[in-house]
Amino acid sequence: MLPRNDKTHKDNNRKSIFFIVLFLFFFFLMPSAWAENVLVKFYQEHISAVDGNRCPMYPSCSVYASRAIEKHGSVLGWVMACDRLVRCGRDEVYQSRPIIIKGRKSVYDPVSANDFWWFEKEKKQ
Amino acid sequence: MKFLKAHLFILFIIFWFLIILPYNCCAQANQMIITPDMQFEYAEKLFAEKDYETAMVEYKRFIHFFPDSIIRDQARFKVGVSLFNLNKFNEAAKIFNEIIMEDKENEITKESFFFQSRAFMEMGNTGYAQIVLQNYLKLAKDMETKDRIYFNLAKIHLTQARNGKSDSLSLARNSLTKISRSGADIYNTDQYLDLVGKAEQESKKNPKLAGALAIIPGAGFLYCERYRDAFTTFLLNTGLLYAAYTAFENENKALAGVIGFVETGFYSGNIYGSISSAHKYNRAQTIKILSKEFSIIPGLDLKKNQYGLSFNYCF
């Protein structure tokens, strides 16, 4: 028989692990559109709206993430979004083309500039 | 009463001879008959004036009213060229395809192959542009046409090289070397072969090596000369790994799981980014070499969210 506080602690851990597994399950199996609409829109509407758009890249990291998920699905979209977060505002600024959007200088780095080496979009004949 | 009727009849006859009959005769004399040549010349005039929209309508009118004319195919071809010049590449490609499918051995069919290939190139579909020319290569008999096909294939491969497609430079070299001696003088292939050689010799980064090095977070970026990215990746990954380890050690498995999940994304992103950076580096090097000889104009289509480089060179 375990002491009461140890048992509670273990139960809490089990619950947490259960929710994490559930989250991961839905994250990797959910439709791309859902990921785009819910996760990214939540960030854009409730965090970025308050925090302000300070992303030096165009499209911004959140839009990039939603487009990557839309184009390549949840798993690869998530990986590409993480890659973009690391590159955002660093060496990419000196290597990609600058553009001016609404009077603000940004660096153009769309999804197509990062998947061109393996993904060729189906083109209309 | 009879007298009145006779008068009315005489008046009608006079009216007929003096007014209606001369009017009809004049109308017939002024009536203009448009011959096929007149119609085609008018369309050609508009085409020469670069009024492609109107020229296209007139060529279509010609095809409608003179379907049996011997220059009907020429009019159809000009409809395609007008569409091409109006940047309606998809519709132009369909017109050229119709001409090609008729399988006639004439100059119009030959030009249709080249124009269809160009239309696909303009649409950014280098694959189809290549297929069209490769199909024509099987049909072409004379050396002059074959040289032109090889030269256009080399152009396509150079464009693909610019887009980062592997082996494109060697394929461009292969196409250029197949051009006959007489064709080589016309197209000045030596200049382009030198250029391909320079682009091939330029220092390149191996994407596989970059990916393998990325096992150590940041080493892949370091190899691709992205020092800031490398430093950030290293700090972020080691920090997250340490945080996940500490959380696990402290029996906080849930937190360790969440951090682990985030870390997995950043670690995979580090590998993906390293490979991607190597490809980007190589593409930048190729563009740098090719742009010394050709004018490469960056282009941006914000509506379609596409980025491209207009690649102009005189052949």
Instruction: Place A122 in a pLDDT band, splitting at 50, 70 and 90.
Output: very low
Q: How far apart are CA B76 and CA B56, in angstroms?
A: 9
CB-nearest partner of B268 from A82, A114, A116 = A82
CB-nearest partner of A95 from B232, B254, B284 = B284
pLDDT, tens digit (0-9, with 9 covering 90-100), for B120-173: 999 988 889 999 999 999 998 889 999 999 999 998 988 888 776 767 888 999
Record the tokens describing residue A91, joined without a space: 């060496």
CA distance B147 to chain A (A): 26
Residue of A nearest to B224 (CA): A91
Closest CA to B284 of B229, B168, B205: B205
Distances (CA, A) of B60 to B43, B79, B87, B116, B252: 9, 7, 18, 19, 76
Beta bridge partners of B308: B299
Q: State the pLDDT at residue A32.
A: 56
Q: State the pLDDT at residue B221.
A: 96
CB of B307 within 8 A of CB of B300? yes
Beta bridge partners of A106: A99
- Helix (H) / strand (E) containing B297: strand B295-301
Q: State the pLDDT at residue B207.
A: 93
CB-nearest partner of B273 from A86, A95, A113 = A86
Interface touch B268/A86, C-beta < 8 Å: no
pLDDT, tens digit (0-9, with 9 covering 90-100), for A23-82: 666 666 665 555 556 777 788 888 888 888 788 999 999 999 988 988 888 889 889 999
Interface touch A86/B251, C-beta < 8 Å: no
**Model confidence at B310: pLDDT above 50:** no
Instruction: Place B25 in a pLDDT band, splitting at 50, 70 and 90.
Output: low
Radius of gyration of chain B (CA): 34
Instruction: Place B29 in a pLDDT band, splitting at 50, 70 and 90.
Output: low
Instruction: Place B225 in a pLDDT band, splitting at 50, 70 and 90.
Output: very high
Q: State the pLDDT at residue B150.
A: 94
Q: State the pLDDT at residue A1.
A: 45
**Model confidence at B61: pLDDT above 90:** yes
Q: State the pLDDT at residue B5.
A: 75
Interface touch A116/B164, C-beta < 8 Å: yes
Chain B residues close to A115, C-beta within 8 Å? 276
Q: State the pLDDT at residue B301.
A: 44
- A17-21, A53-57, B52-56, B226-230: segment of lowest average pLDDT: A17-21
pLDDT, tens digit (0-9, with 9 covering 90-100), for B176-195: 999 998 888 888 888 888 88
DSSP A37-105: IIIIHHIIIIIIHHH-----EES-HHHHHHHHHHHHHHHHHHHHHHHHHHHTTTHHHHHSPEEEETTEE
**Model confidence at B2: pLDDT above 80:** no
Q: State the pLDDT at residue B290.
A: 73
Q: Work out the mean pLDDT of chain B and round it to a whole number.
A: 85
**Model confidence at A8: pLDDT above 80:** no
**Model confidence at A7: pLDDT above 80:** no
Interface touch B123/A24, C-beta < 8 Å: no
Instruction: Place A125 in a pLDDT band, splitting at 50, 70 and 90.
Output: very low
A103: Cβ contacts below 8 Å, ≥ 6 apart: none
CA distance B219 to chain A (A): 14
pLDDT, tens digit (0-9, with 9 covering 90-100), for B125-134: 888 999 999 9
Mean pLDDT throughout B6-28? 70
Q: How far apart are CA B293 and CA B285, in angstroms?
A: 14
Q: State the pLDDT at residue B30.
A: 66
Mean pLDDT throughout B33-37? 88
Chain B residues close to A19, C-beta within 8 Å? 254
- Please give the model's pTM, rounded to 2 decimal places: 0.63
Mean pLDDT throughout B196-205? 83
Q: State the pLDDT at residue A28.
A: 62
Chain A residues close to B127, C-beta within 8 Å? 120, 123
Instruction: Residue B70: count other Cβ atoms within 10 Å of its Cβ.
Output: 8
Interface touch A79/B269, C-beta < 8 Å: yes
Record the tokens describing residue B280, joined without a space: 């980007």
CB-nearest partner of A17 from B123, B207, B253 = B253
Is the Cβ of B286 closer than 8 Å to some Cβ of chain A? no
pLDDT, tens digit (0-9, with 9 covering 90-100), for B63-121: 999 998 889 999 999 999 999 999 999 999 999 999 999 888 889 999 999 999 999 99
Q: State the pLDDT at residue B252.
A: 85
